[in-house]
């Protein structure tokens, strides 16, 4: 008999809904499997889309999965910045949206290797404390700059005040930082791919069963 918590083993592809935290989804899957459960990257509560959740002995696969590129679909409000870069924050600035040619130039600057500040409402530690906790108390701090790569960035829809983008980025990229750099905030954010894994193959948390776990060998072959 395997040690307690190591079975069932495998990787779950789960389509996270907007609202609950990623850790709430991890706990939900753990209750179904009864096994130790981890993740290969979280999503903000307002965001939706693909989570890779690791069950049982497959939790050891995390190092092979956390660094995979991510693909997102995001709608950005170009008329307002918020304190968090997403719809959960307070509006801190309103302005006219950029002209289309100005927006195109801004998008060009966000393709390839970029450096942008980490959003204040993030889990990065500043002086030993999570940045989002400082932000909630109104403490202003200088956020670190993170280097990342935007491999692909395409306009899906443009409506003057909003723009919808399809982008593929390196692991650790904050899409909210890109929205802030464009003078706006994310209205919606959906993760559609993690490396070779697609949200089209994922299930809602309530539809998950242990039979949906991808075997470890199959996962390693794909990455």
Per the residue annotation, which of 44, 69, 108, 201 is the catalytic one?
Answer: 44
Query: Is position 44 annotated as part of the catalytic site?
Result: yes
Enter the pTM of the model.
0.91
- The average pLDDT across 159-174 equals 96
The predicted pLDDT at position 1 comes to: 42
Q: Which two tokens stand for residue 138?
A: 């109104």
Tell me what the pLDDT averaged over the chain comes to. Answer: 91
Domains belonging to the chain, first-starting first, are: 10-67+195-222 (3.30.2350.10), 70-194 (3.30.2350.10)
pLDDT at 2 over 60: no
């Amino acid at each position: 008999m395997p040690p307690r918590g190591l079975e069932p083993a495998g990787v779950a592809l789960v389509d996270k809904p907007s609202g609950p935290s990623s850790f709430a989804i991890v706990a939900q899957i753990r209750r179904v499997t009864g096994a130790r459960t981890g993740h290969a990257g979280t999503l903000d509560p307002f965001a939706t889309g693909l989570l890779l959740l690791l069950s049982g002995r497959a939790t050891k696969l995390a190092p092979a999965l956390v660094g995979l590129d991510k693909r997102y679909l995001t709608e950005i409000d170009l008329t307002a910045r918020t304190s968090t870069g997403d719809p959960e924050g307070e509006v801190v600035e309103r302005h006219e949206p950029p002209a289309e040619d100005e927006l195109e130039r801004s998008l060009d600057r966000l393709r390839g290797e970029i450096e942008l500040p980490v959003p204040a409402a993030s889990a990065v530690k500043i002086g030993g404390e999570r940045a989002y906790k400082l932000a909630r108390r109104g403490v202003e701090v200088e956020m670190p700059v993170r280097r990342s790569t935007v491999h692909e960035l395409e306009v899906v829809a443009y409506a003057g005040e909003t723009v919808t983008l399809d982008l593929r980025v390196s692991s650790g990229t904050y899409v909210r930082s890109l929205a802030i750099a464009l003078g706006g905030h994310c209205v919606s954010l959906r993760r559609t791919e993690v490396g070779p894994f697609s949200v089209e193959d994922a299930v809602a948390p309530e539809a998950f069963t242990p039979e949906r776990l991808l075997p470890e060998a199959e996962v390693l072959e794909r990455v």
